[in-house]
Amino acid sequence: MQRVRRQLDLPGRREETAGAFVTVAVLDSGAELHPDLAQRMIVFRDFVNGEHFYYDDNGHGTHICGIICGSGEMSGGRFRGVAPNARLAVGKVLDERGNGDLAHMIEGLNWVLSIKDVLNIRILNMSVGVASGSDSSRICELHAALKAIWDSGILIVTSAGNRGPGENTISDISGKSGCMVVGCYDAEYYRWDPMRCETYSGCGSLRDAERKPDIVAPGTKIISCNAACRQTVKGNRSRAYCAKSGTSMATAICSGAAALTLGKYPHLTNTKLKQRFHLTARDVGLPWNRQGYGMINVRGLLDSFSEKD
């Protein structure tokens, strides 16, 4: 996250913790009570196994939550998330292998909709994908649930998926019902690595009028919270963090940036905020179906508003 902070010119501690509290809903593999997250999580619901305690038997969800708003406690702030002032509503919809059932995802979406007003949920992070060949009726039900979430005023941030870079390889869960779709781009970082995220980031079609993905963000070897480090082992700093790569990580960075922006400008609608992501993005010279509007510009998001926007 240090590299990401430099690369994206993320704000310093005073600015990142200012403003209104914003709750980000995360539908993923769950979340452990990692020391960096213990004060961030306000509710947890398990749609896979029906457990009544915080846990993450895969590790993906904990990593995502840390990117969004981890406090960095175990690293002296070094590996804190993008928006440390945000709060988390976590729904477990992925199993121990990181696989998801459409029924669990739909349940999770309906749950988010039911608690949004009570918890001030403004953002939904879905760093998940849907396998090709999924039940078409369930897919339609999923898209209807996503539309209901968007229509309620929540910004939906989803990953482009990791099946690129061929055309039309964006996850089927993305590109629907107003979702802001995020792909990977690391600029000059990891150019030597043939497995850097942008080499497999999902791409849209050059023939579509609407640009997908909407935006790109860093996604290679992002260091964040390790699910193996629980609240009971605070002294075990060697296992507190781990590096993961993928469009999931890029998506979480954008969700954190959205939380920062809404903390400063709480009046913004999801539509206006999505437009601002587009308008402030930096063109990186890639085709539209790979970069969308370009690289996320956090400083532009935070500095470019007027009270009338």
Which mean pLDDT values do the consecutive 10-residue runs of the chain (309 residues) have? 85 71 95 93 96 94 97 92 94 92 94 96 89 70 92 96 89 75 92 89 83 93 89 59 95 96 94 96 93 94 69
What is the predicted pLDDT for the residue at 305? 62
Which listed residue (28, 56, 57, 186) is catalytic?
A: 28
State the catalytic residue, choosing from 29, 174, 201, 248: 248
Active-site hit among 60, 71, 171, 186: 60
Is 248 an annotated catalytic residue? Answer: yes
Predicted confidence at residue 119, as pLDDT, reads 96
Q: Which DSSP string do the residues of the chain spell out, in sequence order?
A: -HHHHHHHT---HHHHT-S---EEEEEES-----TTTTTTEEEEEESSS--SS---SSSHHHHHHHHHH---GGGTTTT--S-TT-EEEEEE-B-TTS-B-HHHHHHHHHHHHHHHHHHTEEEEEE-----TT--HHHHHHHHHHHHHHHHTTPEEEEE--SS-SSTT-S-TTSSSTT-EEEEE--TTTTTT-TT-GGGT-----TT-SS-SS-EEE--SSEEEE-TT--GGGTT-GGGSEEEE-SHHHHHHHHHHHHHHHHHH-TT--HHHHHHHHHHHPBP-S--HHHHTT-B--HHHHHHS--TT-
pLDDT (0 to 100) of residue 175: 57
pLDDT in the model for residue 232 = 46
Residue 60 known to be catalytic: yes
Q: How far apart are CA 170 and CA 129, in angstroms?
A: 9
pLDDT attached to residue 239? 84
pLDDT for 95 equals 93
Is 132 known to be catalytic? no
Q: Is the pTM of this model over 0.85?
A: yes
Is residue 215 within 8 A of residue 297, CB to CB? The reply is no
Question: What pLDDT score was predicted for residue 201?
Answer: 93
Burial-class residue 306 by CB neighbours within 10 Å (0-12, 13-18, 19+).
exposed
Radius of gyration in angstroms for the set of CA atoms belonging to the chain, rounded to a whole number: 17
